[in-house]
Amino acid sequence: MSDTPYSARIRFVELIEREKTQLTQIKIYRDNSQIVPTGAVYTLKKPDNSILVDEQTAAVDGNGTVSYSLTSSLLASTLELGEGYIEEFKCTINGDEYTFRRMAALVLRKLYPVISDADLTQVYTDLEGLRPSSLNSYQSFIDDSFYKILRKIRQKGMGFEYLVISPESLYEAHRHLALYLIFRDFHSSIGQSEGRFLDLATEHYKQYLQELDTINWVYDETHQNQATDPNKRTAAKPVIYLTAPSYYGYRRRR
């Protein structure tokens, strides 16, 4: 068995939508190149460790992307929603087997990015002209900032992103973080210790942190694909009382 440490690109918990046919896939890298396995099998375990998919043949395309098609009949309505599912991609690389594991959650709906290039150029109209010729859009920054926000939601104990019914509540945080990443990249490419791009990056990062801490959303606490309380927005960052609230001050998170 080779001890070569191949890298599976795993940016986030895999979100699998129940009762929907969909592809789940993984990409493997080494030395800045995507690896092309000669074969692969896929396993999906339920939270109780029972097997839902048991080492079924996975497809490997010409670039090396390993994928498996999950059918709507397999992801039946009787399956338990939530965390604790585990995916395993067992791939054959140069004659050796490597198993790449990824946590998954079975959900009713995924949460998708809420901004595009148009939202960035609304703030800075010259962004189109500043974009490097090697890029057709700022989509890579938009995607990266979105995954950063999803990871932060979980790390800060703010809840599960797929239970957010109001994706627009992430708009400002998403836009500020994307702009931060863009201007930081501009500054890095210039190689200066200070300058306009660094100032802009710093300002947008501060704004992102402020927006993240003050986000409030409409939330589905019971996995019913509907707002638990449609007339009440819930603070993503709960208030912690250091002393007991007054008789009239008792309230739930908001």
Residues 6+ apart with CB under 8 A from 29: 6, 7, 8, 9, 35
192-211 tens-digit pLDDT: 666 899 999 999 999 999 99
Output the pLDDT for position 222. 85
pLDDT band of residue 236 (cuts 50, 70, 90) is: low
Residue 237 has a pLDDT of 60
Tens-place pLDDT, residues 158-175: 889 999 999 999 999 999
Delimit the domains of the chain by residue range. Answer: 7-107, 117-235
Summarize pLDDT for 38-60 with one digit per residue, the tens.
999 999 999 999 999 999 999 99
pLDDT at 244 over 80: no
pLDDT band at 253 (very low <50, low <70, confident <90, very high): very low
7-107: what CATH class? mainly beta
Confidence of residue 108 (pLDDT cuts 50, 70, 90): very high
Checking 228-236 for CB contacts under 8 A at 24+ apart, the result is 233/166, 233/169, 236/153, 236/158, 236/159, 236/169, 236/212
pTM for the structure as a whole:
0.84
Q: What is the mean pLDDT of residues 80-106?
A: 97
Average pLDDT, the chain: 89
pLDDT at 239 exceeding the cut of 60: no
Judge whether residue 235 has pLDDT over 80: no
